[in-house]
Chains A and B, each alone.
Chain A
């Protein structure tokens, strides 16, 4: 059970993700953020609830829809906006963009543009932690569709075999692009499916932040204590289409409306009021977030374009190797 101050911090994180995502959609619409992207509006409770259980030295991998996962782990929205807006000051020197954004200093080892691909890498980091005797855990966020991917099977098996400190969080927003689980899974009950690998699995309502926090806490505590990998199935929904070019026509308006009534921020706000928090306190949080986002965007837009020399940098780490290519040693 979260304390009220913890709950309000979670509310603020969710609000920050929401405003970041809506701003991103607007900036892309205004052609200021050049790359096609994937927003996570209405999915904010998942990374927020998970991250409440993570330490700064824990490590995270995410997906093409990963902005919220970064923010919840503590990545700065300023550097994220600069990255998305293709400016100097971007977290990845404006070379990764929305689908490959990373912030190693905050334990985010990267988003991934290939569905499922982050999982074996995350398993490797988990193996590395174990080999180095560190008790950090690794979270691999995946989308719902990744469950059908071969990399998932290979990872579940290796994580189980080697009892890796890996937690796979499946943010199930009901649609793998346009396809539901009925269209791609022989066994739609993913908990049963994952348990068959010898991996501890739970399912949770992904729109209720304190429920996610509690379930993730059980998974993470278990895994950190050396009991092997775990898997958390979080049911949620994305408000917008698959990406900035999709209106989501494969969903009925009634379905979208029903999920909208379970918007995790609406639920969190009601829960906060139930805890005795006033609307004025919540409005103050909202205003603080709005101001922070506006300031971050203003800062990012004031950043210059990356110098073109950057295009040839960061390929090789070894200075002698770079010299052999006539590249710049940075």
Chain B
């Protein structure tokens, strides 16, 4: 084991896959050194692998999304970086009408092995256009796989798997996790898609979370342990495919469910988790399902305002307490 930051773990995953497979290449804005990507995930790669493997693009998000798709259907494995997930809105045609549909529309004549890396999330005073979590757009459109790692080890292992899969993956990275340090296994480390990970075991209440909300939930779980409430934190790791069995098994054990989602609450992915548990785990529930989520507004800039609309550890603590006490939702 070694200790790496989330960002360095991603960089290592990219290096290992660039080494392993000559069809892998990176495409996006300002990936090359000395800039090395807006969040420095690709730092050093153009120096070590050359400009052919690390392709800088014009600021043409829809265009280079389509270019990556064209490469993917003809034998290459592009890893695309959108500088911020917010900018994927500039590429909605390619990302929604083309990439996830071309295999289906052609009756399986092509495959689309590509990864779209999307730095996401708030808590940085970036305001409304650089702080979103848009995973629900991608989980809603059939054809995408969606990963949202919360630790350096998962970031590395999921990215390596994503690059090797033959289908398009939206890879949600959280900007506030880039500096997070964690242990990463030595050697070849691959994390499968569709397998959630119980990041903390507990018997009183299940928390389902992904991306940065896993870390926030672990913080809340620590506080709750001081009160004698043992929380089980289920990290989904991939939203599509979704590991329903691990969620349902945890709810069977605890009888309580709090879902934590950074994105605005309305029609977020948390609603899907709630619906699945209501459908398939209803008999296990001792109390109503709680959602802790962003408020239904764009992100404001001022920290005091942003903290009023994005989930806080204290909100999670309150929701778990309320569930354990059997209060009305």
CA distance in complex: A129, B96 (Å)? 25
8 Å CB contact of A317 from B68, B71, B108, B142: B108
Indicate if A229 sits at the interface (CB-CB under 8 A).
no
Chain B contacts for A321, CB-based, 8 A: 145, 165-167, 193-194, 241
Dominant secondary structure at the B interface: loop
The stretch of A2-10, A152-160, A292-300 in contact with B is: A152-160
Pairwise interchain contact B58-A158, C-beta atoms closer than 8 A: yes
Is B329 among interface residues, defined by CB-CB distance under 8 A?
no
A120-B71 contact given A315-B103, A316-B167, CB 8 Å threshold: no
Partner of A110, one of B64, B68, B106, B192: B106
Residue of B25, B69, B76, B109 most packed against chain A (CB within 10 A): B109
Which A residues lie within 8 Å of B104 (CB)?
95, 314-315
> With A125-B70, A128-B70 in contact, do A104 and B110 touch (Cβ < 8 Å)?
yes
* B57 CB within 8 Å of chain A: yes
Type the 1/0 row for B170-212, where 1 means its CB is closer than 8 Å to any CB of A.
Answer: 0000000000000000000000111000000000000000000
Q: Give chain B residues whose Cβ lies under 8 Å from the Cβ of A90.
A: 107
Instruction: Give the one of A104, A154, A316 with max B CB within 10 A.
Output: A316
Residue pair B71, A114 in contact (C-beta under 8 Å): no
Is B313 an interface position by the 8 A CB rule? no
Interface contact A121-B106, CB-CB below 8 Å: no
B98 at the binding interface (Cβ < 8 Å):
yes
Give bound CA distance, A230 to B102, whole Å: 26
Q: In whole angstroms, what is the CA distance A325 to B71 when docked? A: 26
Complex alpha-carbon distance, A155 and B94, angstroms: 13
Q: Kindly state whether residue A124 has any CB partner on chain B within 8 Å.
A: yes
The total of interchain contacts (Cβ-Cβ below 8 angstroms) comes to 157
Within 8 A of A (CB), among B52-82: 52, 57-58, 60, 62-76
- Contact between B75 and A96 (Cβ–Cβ < 8 Å)? no
Residue B143 at the A interface, CB < 8 A?
yes
Closest B residue to A330 by CB, please name it: B108
In the complex, A161 Cα to B60 Cα: how many Å?
13
* A125, A158, A324: the one within 8 Å of B74 (CB): A125
Nearest-CB distance from B99 to chain A (Å)?
9
Which of B58, B70, B142, B167 gathers the greatest number of chain A CB atoms within 10 Å? B70
Chain A residues whose CB sits within 8 angstroms of the CB of B66 once the complex forms: 117, 119-121, 123-124, 151, 155
Identify which of residues 113-166 in chain B touch chain A, using a CB-to-CB cut-off of 8 Å. Answer: 113, 142-143, 145, 165-166
Please give me the residue from chain B that is nearest to A102 by CB atom.
B106
Tell me if B112 is interfacial: C-beta within 8 Å of chain A: yes
CA distance A320 to B112 in the complex (A): 15
A314-B108, A321-B193, A324-B241 given; A151·B63 CB < 8 A:
yes
Given contacts A128-B71, A317-B111, A321-B193, contact A154 B63 (CB under 8 A): yes
A104-134: which have CB < 8 Å to B? Answer: 104-105, 109-110, 112-114, 117, 119-129, 131-132
Minimum C-beta distance from B23 to chain A (A): 9
Q: Which residues of A contact B67 (CB under 8 A)?
A: 120-121, 123-124, 127, 158
Contacts of A121 in B (CB 8 A): 66-67, 69-70, 73, 94, 98, 102
Closest chain B residue to A115 by CB distance?
A: B93
B25 to chain A: which residues have CB within 8 Å? 131
Q: How far is the CA of A330 from the CA of B65 in the complex (A)?
A: 28
Chain A interface residue count: which class? 35 or more
A125 to chain B, nearest CB (A): 4
In the complex, the answer to whether A122 meets B107 with C-beta atoms within 8 Å is no
Residue A150 at the B interface, CB < 8 A?
Answer: yes
B63/A92 in contact, CB under 8 A = no
Is A22 an interface residue, CB under 8 A from the partner? Answer: no
Contact A122 B63 (CB under 8 A): no
Residue among A91, A93, A122 with most chain B CB within 10 A: A93
Contact in complex: B74, A128 (CB < 8 Å): yes
Q: List 29 A-B contacts (CB under 8 A).
A: A92-B105, A96-B106, A102-B110, A104-B106, A105-B109, A110-B105, A114-B93, A119-B66, A120-B63, A120-B64, A120-B70, A121-B69, A124-B70, A125-B70, A127-B67, A128-B75, A128-B76, A131-B25, A131-B76, A132-B76, A150-B62, A151-B93, A154-B63, A315-B143, A317-B166, A317-B167, A318-B165, A321-B193, A324-B193
Q: Give A residues with C-beta under 8 Å from B.
A: 59, 90-96, 100, 102-105, 109-110, 112-114, 117, 119-129, 131-132, 150-151, 154-155, 157-158, 161, 313-318, 320-321, 324-325, 330
Which residues of B are at the interface with A, using a C-beta cutoff of 8 A? 25, 52, 57-58, 60, 62-76, 93-94, 97-98, 102-113, 142-143, 145, 165-167, 192-194, 241
5 nearest CB pairs, A to B: A124-B70, A120-B66, A154-B63, A93-B107, A124-B67
